[in-house]
Structure 1
Amino acid sequence: MKIVISIFLLLATFQLQAQDYFLQDKGPFDPDIPSPEAFFGYPVGSHHTRHDQIIAYLTKLAEVSERAEIIQYGKSYEHRPLVMLNISNPDHLENLAELQKKHLLATVPGSNADVSELPVFINLGYNVHGNEPSSSEAALLSAYILVASEHADIQKYRSDAVIMIDPTINPDGRDRHTQWANMFKGDPLVADPADAEHNERWPGGRTNHYWFDLNRDWLLGIHPESRGKLNWYHEWYPNVVTDFHEMGTNSTYFFEPMKANASKDPIMPVENYTTLNDKFAEYYVEALDDIGSFYFTKEVFDGTYPGYGSSYPDLQGGLGILFEQASSRGHVQETPTGKITFAFTIRNQLTSSLATVKAAVENKDLLYDYQKRFFKSAISNAEKSNVEGYVFGDDYDENRTKAFIDKLLLHRIKLYELEESVKTKGKTFSPGNAYYVPAKQPQYRMVQTMFETYQEYTDSVFYDASAWSLVNFYNLEYAPLKKGAKKGKEVTREDLKLKDIEVKKSNYVYLVDCYDYNSPALLWRLQNAGANVLSAFKPFSLPVEGKQKDFGYGTLVIPVSQQHISGDSLYSLVKDAANEYSVEVSSATTGYSKSGVDLGSRYINTLDKPEAFMLIEDGVSSYEAGEVWHLLDTRVDMPISKIPMRNFENINWERYNTMVMVSGSYKQLDSTDHEKIKNWVSSGNTLITIRNASEWAIKNKIVKEKLIEKEKDKESDEQIDKAKQIERKPYVEASENIGKQSVGGAIFEVDLDLTHPLAFGYQREKLPVYRNSSVWIAPSENPYATVAKYTADPHIDGFITDKNLNEFLKPSASLIVSKVGKGRVVLFADNPNFRGSWYGTNRLFLNALFLGQHIDVPSE
């Protein structure tokens, strides 16, 4: 018994000492509320805490204290709960719904609501990148201090604020990293940077289940983690939002102000990134100086892209604040200035968390005043603009249009059906297929974000993308209007529900126009169920319900007689698939066309079911691989085999007819492997390459295509002349000058060959594409092989140097198909699936999957 007591006392003493590193001067604490150490049985910082343990602890706080309540606002792909712990005094929490109503009045333009007695609303957000784990541990300590401390300062925070702690924004990624760090943790700890603990295997824990970076998804709103958070956000509009991250081990600590916004005329109010940032920075300086931590500001990072956790709040009347902590990437790691421990990284994040609460409480009036003026200025800015609103739509693709409308509604942008046709700039927008977005509304800055494009910037080096006009992501016709359109009914989420599709039974053939975004999903559904589906490689016209109807390139032809299933079973299958994906299906009774080919033509080809695999792991871009996986999983319901590079030698090549290679080094593949891939393609199969993988295929002579590369000086006298002309530049400017030569993310226009199978489903020759690489593919020497080439004036949105634009982009191709024996390689210079958001170019990739086997590149 004495031994047990002694061990307990020893453990308790050790925990108190460990806690003192974080909790010094923060107490006294309510003894009835357990600390994280007492709850978990280990000191914070000595072990990485799983997400379920984090949820359990926060739930415990809500159970034992009237100062906390926990709510779930969503869940991740892997079904981990996304929660918010609300902390305040009991009176505030009891009347939170009423406080919410009064708080939201500050977001109503022109409201004179008295908010002087309201608490300030603070959202402490942590761990959007799963392998940046210090912040979630800091969230545990912040929660404990803010709930359990009886310190006078903390009591004031609870009285004057509602603090909403989001402990883990990316729980799937966090648990992936947590398992790794704990699995390789040594005893004693190993600080060697080469140790396995500090070097996660591919894809690492940074990303979510589908390997997406959730800190880029606030604007795009693709994933459940982000959509849940956005819906929560627009219910609260917090005054302050934190965004805690980690960076390279050899750095120190970063907090805002950031590097200057690169936009020439940012839509974010100047007051946000000057007055407010500078005011809060004073608190971080004081707090971090007090514990002896080094830090830096202004040098790097920028809030130009509006889809970060630290920039999105800035467009919603709040103050978003970025923090970056040097990472231990494990429990302890060596650096040039000594060892950095997990506990040290946690303490810096905790210190900034509490400093944020203090700053917000002491500047509550300033924050509310700013929030009210922000939404008021949205209306006044719209009134000063020469744009009354925007009209957009698509006459052929309702589901792609609905996907864009979903994004507008997600960001609380108001839009309306068109009451009357609008003709502008040679375009006609008709009621039923087009919509109107007025500029004059509280979310005017988000309207700008969706529709405005830019060409001028004050800076040329971006932390991320320089273009984000979402309407171009969806390839929708749109136009700004100097005179507003006549509004019809306001569009709501009810209008996005799938409509019932009536399919008339046919004894001859069913036809599906392939213009709809969901038609590839319908095709897969039919093929996977064993139906025989054909595609029209030339247009035709048939009578449907007594009227002649034109059917374009790529129309799906589903004959009733040429099936292995009965006519009744086929009808049920077609009807169910049409309703599942909300795609129109026509029924016809004849194959004789009044114009164009007949259904028995050699241009009506049976489609092979794609059997696809994709190489993943070492050296392969997890982002791009995840984009392919996500597209097929969530929008096509089609499986793709993800084969690790380490298993390349064991691939059963006969099982597959389609191979996908996204950007990667592929250094593990030797000349024998190259030949194996080329032989497989030559036997009649399809290889699809994206960005750097296309460059790899060209350089390794899988295809006989060429890159547009920088000219190399061949003559020595030319080299001497060039050396004489070289201008010396300041060393300190090197990173900036070199950085601007890259294409960090911009939108350009290409010209499509609408008769090519890869372009089936497109109505317009002009198509916006997204480029964020310097892979320049020369148009194919085969005149029939270049599917998409950049137009003479291709720039739509974003930054590019004149040299890159004129010498590399304009002469190059965006998409070509190269013949290899009986097969073909589809080479994308651009990424058609970027961040799960490019609905406008997804179809090019899906056509490569479903139609690639039927592309026989002709040659003269």
Structure 2
Amino acid sequence: MISTSRSLRALALLCTLLPSFAYSQRDDSRFDFYTRGAYRETVPRPQSILRYDVGEFHTNYAMMERVLEKIAQAAPDRVRVMDIGLTNEHRMMHLVAISSPENIQRLDEIKSNIARLADPRKTPNEEAQRIVSSQPLVVWLAYTIHGNESASFETMMQVVYQLAASNEPATLDILKNTVVLINVCENPDGHERFVTWYNANAVGDPDPLAAEHREPWSVYGRYNRYRFDLNRDNAASTQIETRHMQRAYLEWNPQVLVDHHGQPAQYFFPPAAQPVNPNLPPEQTTRWMSEFGRANAAQFDARNWDYYVRDVFDLFGPFYWDSWPSLNGATGMTYETDGGGFKGLRWRRDDDTIVTLRSAIAKHFVASMTTLDTAARNREARLRDYHDFRRSGIEEGRTGRMKRIVLLPGRDAGNTNNLVQVLLRAGIEVGIAREQFGSQSAHSYMGSETSAARSFPAGSYVIDLAQPQKRLAKALLEPETPQDAAFVREQLARFARNERRGSGALKESYAFYDLTAWSLPLAFGVEAYWTEDASAVQRDSASLADSSSTVAGAVQNGRAQIAYIIPYDTNAASALAFRLQREGFRIGVSMKTLNAGGRTWPRGTIVVRVSRNPDTLHDAIARLSRETGANVWSVNSGFYETGETGVGSEDIATLKPPRILMVADEGVDSSSYGALWWLFDQSGVNFTPMTIANIKRAELDRYNVIIMPDGSPDRYFSSFGKSGIETLRSWVQRGGTLICIKGAAVFAALKDVNLTSSRLVGSDDDDEKGQKPEEGKATPSPSPTPQPEAGSAQAGTRRRQQGAGQTATEQQREETDQTEKLEGVAPELPLIASPSARPGVVPEAVPGAIMRATIDRTTYLTYGYEDTQLPVLVNSGYFFRPSKEGTNAVIFSPDDKQQLRISGFVWPNNTERLLRGTAYVVEEHAGRGHVILFAEEPNFRGIWRTTIRLFFNAILFPSAM
């Protein structure tokens, strides 16, 4: 029995931890948001403006803006509303600064002070200490990056009111010690889609099967207009919302950031799950996540609220709005509430308890305010650690093994410049070499493991890691980022158990949250090197483009008399070809080596004949060349001195303008559809979205290309049905081109569909299934390189990975040693392997690894590719047997001597063995038409630029073949 005195002491301690909240009722639907007063009567509560109570209705964007306006007008001494940019659908994004009147009056000074802390090269230690001792902390609270996570949106208004109106001592302490930046809605367009649909249809039924808990495919508000997940876009910043937010973030350089989400079964707050990105300093990262986590836990425990930590939500990939800020030096955190969104106003859990939108808002509100209380209480320590994060990053960049990354402009200078623009938008310093320079120890991203002396030409981009953004730069650019050893060991143990389970048994899931590889030079297809030295280089600073990320193109040699030649070795050339066709000009392609204008041009070169186009061609091609960044050469004579093909030859095939239909329906992956939509808009390509029901009754001959994005193979099969499949087959045979991506390619390869002779490896339709490998035989999962570095913050706590300078044999030996060390005690396995188990026969889904593919340069699908190897993303277990009747344009080499894995996690004795000899891109003729399969997304999240031209080729060229 606990003594009365001890109980009183415990109660007193709890009261000190909870100075500002009254205990809520167990019924969270009656949570009181106004216990942290007194409140200034001149500041209106959100409900008085909205005319409904918290959690009673979903607020649309315009009404939210009205709330902000009214509160800001009533509290100008504390509140500043700043516009940061328009969305694709022309909604203004806002950032609200809230602080004490004294801080509000000196916001520019505060920004300037933080900027000096962010660059320790310019700030002596004495000045840094002065800033730390007197400067308020900058805390960024972000809401509704996923538009249908609606509790976050509603919470934001309550937090704004609390900070603007309350005179409670703890709130005043927050205002004194912090500048709170509230990103009021990260995804306005997605949120508007969701709330418009929900408010028009909801009746408040908690039944999980009720219609209001199932957004239609066309509505799904998680994503932005182009169906991009904005919480996966930070690495490449393809979307306009991301660019607005990154620009504002780097203007303010916050020290704490919370991204508010929903809706797991229970509330989540950090500490984060493993793996954590190893570029983050472990002691500092762990300490601050624990500080904020314990503070939230105290508040939630006092209310008997359920929550969890260290599970599901990791801090590994640099694309999230917790990891990206963390790599900038902030304490970046994800909070996930348990209601709202698809759970609507009310949701019945599996134990028949009800979670409400209001209760979910209450939890986010408590967590937001607790975060601010904790930040204010730790102001000076957090500022000091922020400065140390940036300072130690510079030192690691100076002393670590990887000191510099070099990007060569290459043939596609515009594509390389696009990558540089990504880095500049992230605040990473990039130089442009004025002269040739060299390295004594350079490592190729695509070459052998050994380093070598290498010279680099003037014009190369130089990213030295001895800079304040070292950790983010390295995380984005390094060839590979290692994962936590214990985490990998646990996944391998689950895999070993699953391999022994029967075909109908419940399998253990794996804990990979997203990709395990993303290196931007590999994703963009840029020739890149990292070096172990960083000799002095005369350089200019690369600059961020104001509006366009492309390198301006031009017409060379003036106005053409005979033809214009478009070298087809850049993605911009594809865009120019599409733009010319859209404006009604006639173009062709050379199917053989072309001789024109005194030069030789490779197959795939685009030819625009003057005689076959109107006079407006000359001005149009000059304008479009500038806009797309593609270079064009004028040809003034059709005569050629050598070779057999010129601009007037019969081997110049006319390209018909694409008339594209794209499947847009339930079962189609929204992100796949959206990535293609965005790519088409960027490239000037028109298309018609159409549901499967309408496809089955449409006059398909109005279209010459049908694109089936990634989606559920079963859903495609059931939706098309036998008659729909025959409709597709007949249309292809009459001359159409059917492009099937990932899950749609699986659909096409089903024996009952038979649109291709290719089959899925390990499927029931696979006639080439090999023998089961010897049980117990395994090869290790290749380990990452070249981290962690000697002398880095990681070196003392994490075993050093093998170096990138090893030979393949040395690497394999160390991988074997590592696996044995990781395994330790063998994992507990099912006592008997099921007779229906198929170990090593069915590919295990790969969690986003970069693999080495081989190109067949004899097919039109690979026009514009000069190298024979290509880094591609493998992000599934969809491995395709080579076509028996057509062309396998891109394959994975069957040669055991060629390592397929470049970066990321693969399954031992499964991935590489089963992937060898399979096809990444398949093309087959059917009658007068074509069926083209892509095993994976060719434009994954807008990041994967290496395979875009393959996809464009599948649209542009089949009509001429």
Would the TM-score normalized by the shorter structure come out above 0.5? yes
Per the alignment, residue 257 of structure 1 pairs with: 271
Q: Which residue of 1 aligns with 2:367?
A: 352
2:860 to 757, 761, 768: 757
* Aligned residue number for residue 303 of structure 1: 315
CA distance in 1, matches of 2:321, 2:766: 46
Q: Indicate the residue corresponding to 1:659 in structure 2.
A: 706
What letter matches 2:851 in structure 1?
F
State whether structure 2 residue 341 is matched by structure 1 residue 324: no
1:92 alignment partner, one of 103, 106, 127:
103
Instruction: Report whether the alignment pairs 1:144 with 2:144.
Output: no
Return the match for 1:629 from 655, 677, 696.
677
Q: State how 1:142-221 maps to structure 2 within 5 Å.
A: 142-186=159-203, 189-203=204-218, 204-221=220-237
Query: For the residues of structure 1 that align with 2:531 and 2:538, how far apart are their CA atoms?
Result: 13
What does residue range 431-446 of structure 1 map to in structure 2 within 5 Å? Answer: 431=457, 433-446=459-472
Alignment check: 8 A CA contact 2:939 2:947 kept: yes
Cross-structure match for 1:8: none
Deviates more, 1:36-45 or 1:444-453: 444-453
SS at match of 2:139: strand
Please show how residues 403-552 of structure 1 align to structure 2 within 5 Å: 403-422=418-437, 431=457, 433-454=459-480, 456-457=482-483, 458=485, 459-460=487-488, 461-484=511-534, 486-493=537-544, 498-499=551-552, 501-503=554-556, 504-543=558-597, 548-552=598-602
Corresponding letter in the other structure for 1:315? L
CA–CA separation in structure 2 for the residues paired with 1:317 and 1:414: 16
1:730 and 1:217 mapped to 2: Cα distance?
Answer: 41
Question: What's 1:334 paired with?
Answer: 348
3-state SS, counterpart of residue 931 of structure 2:
strand
| Offset of residue 340 of structure 1 | 1.0
Alpha carbons of structure 1 residues 176 and 728: separation in structure 2 relative to 1, 3 Å: same
Q: Provide the rounded CA distance (Å) in 2 between the counterparts of 1:574 and 1:428.
A: 39
User: Which runs of 5 or more residues in structure 1 are unaligned?
Assistant: 1-16, 732-736, 856-860
Inter-partner Cα distance in structure 2 for 1:245 and 1:494 = 32
Cα gap change, 1:537/1:119 in structure 2, threshold over 3 Å: closer, same or farther? Answer: same
With 366-375 and 493-502 compared, the bigger mean Cα shift is at 493-502
Instruction: Determine helix, strand or coil for the equivalent of 1:838.
Output: coil
Give the CA deviation at 1:296.
0.9
Name the structure 1 match of 2:378: 363
1:140 and 1:69, CA in 2 relative to 1: closer, same or farther beyond 3 A? same
Tell me if the contact between 1:453 and 1:798 (Cα under 8 Å) persists in the aligned partners: no
Could you state the TM-score of these two structures normalised by the residue count of structure 1?
A: 0.91
Worse-superposed segment, 806-815 or 622-631: 806-815
Q: Which residue of 2 aligns with 1:807?
A: 913
Secondary structure in 1 aligned to 2:850?
A: strand
Q: 1:6-47 CA distances to partner (integer Å, 9 max, x unpaired)? A: xxxxxxxxxxx9997232421111111100001111101000
1:711 Cα deviation after fit: 8.8
Amino acid at match of 2:70: K
Question: Comparing 643-652 with 408-417, which one deviates more in the overlay?
Answer: 643-652
Q: Distance in 1 between matches of 2:708 and 2:748?
A: 9
Distance in 2, Cα, partners of 1:648 & 1:196? 26
Deviation at 1:744, TM superposition (A): 1.6
Query: How big is the shift at 1:471?
Result: 0.9
> How far apart in 2 are the matches of 1:614 and 1:336?
39
Partner of 1:131: 148
Shift of 1:595: 3.0
2:829 matched to 1:729? yes
Report the equivalent of 1:797: 903
Deviation track 1:472-521 (CA, whole Å, cap 9, x = no partner) reads 11101111123335232111125967536245112211111011221122
Structure 2 unaligned spans of 5+: 1-26, 445-451, 489-510, 779-825, 832-838
The DSSP-based 3-state class of the residue aligned with 2:212 is helix
- 1:602-613 maps to which residues of 2 (within 5 A)? 602-613=650-661
For 1:616, the aligned partner's letter is: A
Matched, 1:649 2:696: yes
Residue in structure 2 matched with residue 766 of structure 1 by the alignment: 869
Amino acid paired to 2:58:
H
Q: Quote the residue 1:51 is aligned against.
A: 61
Q: In structure 2, how many angstroms separate the alpha carbons of the residues matched to 1:710 and 1:40?
A: 55
The 1-side partners of 2:669 and 2:545 are apart by 38
SS at match of 1:406: helix
- Aligned residue identity for 1:815: V
Alpha-carbon distance, 1:464 to partner: 0.7
Structure 1 stretch displaced more, 783-792 or 76-85: 783-792
* Partner SS state of residue 669, structure 1: helix
Residues in 2 aligned to 1:826 and 1:261: alpha-carbon distance in whole angstroms: 37
User: 2:599 & 2:149 partners in 1: Cα distance?
Assistant: 57
Structure 2 match to 1:397: 412
Q: How has the CA–CA distance of structure 1 residues 500 and 622 changed in structure 2, closer, same or farther, with 3 Å as cutoff?
A: closer
Q: CA deviation at 1:748?
A: 1.1
CA RMSD of aligned residues (A): 2.7
Q: Distance in 1 between matches of 2:476 and 2:37?
A: 48
Q: Structure 1 residue aligned with 2:293, among 278, 281, 305?
A: 281
> What SS class does the counterpart of residue 413 from structure 1 fall into?
coil
Quick check: 1:62–1:68 contact (8 Å CA) kept in 2?
yes
TM-score by length of 2: 0.81
SS of corresponding position for 2:390: helix
Shift of 1:837: 1.4
Distance in 2 of aligned mates of 1:401 and 1:571: 28
**Is contact 2:756-2:883 (8 Å) kept?**
no
Alpha-carbon distance in 1 for matches of 2:226, 2:888 = 33
Q: Distance in 2 between matches of 1:387 and 1:690?
A: 37
**Distance in 1 separating the partners of 2:555 and 2:696:** 49
C-alpha separation between the residues in 1 aligned to 2:761 and 2:691? Answer: 31
Give CA deviations for 1:353-399 in whole Å, capped at 9, x if unaligned. 00000010111122111101101111111122223312112332121
SS, match of residue 840 in structure 1: coil
Partner secondary structure for residue 816 of structure 1: strand
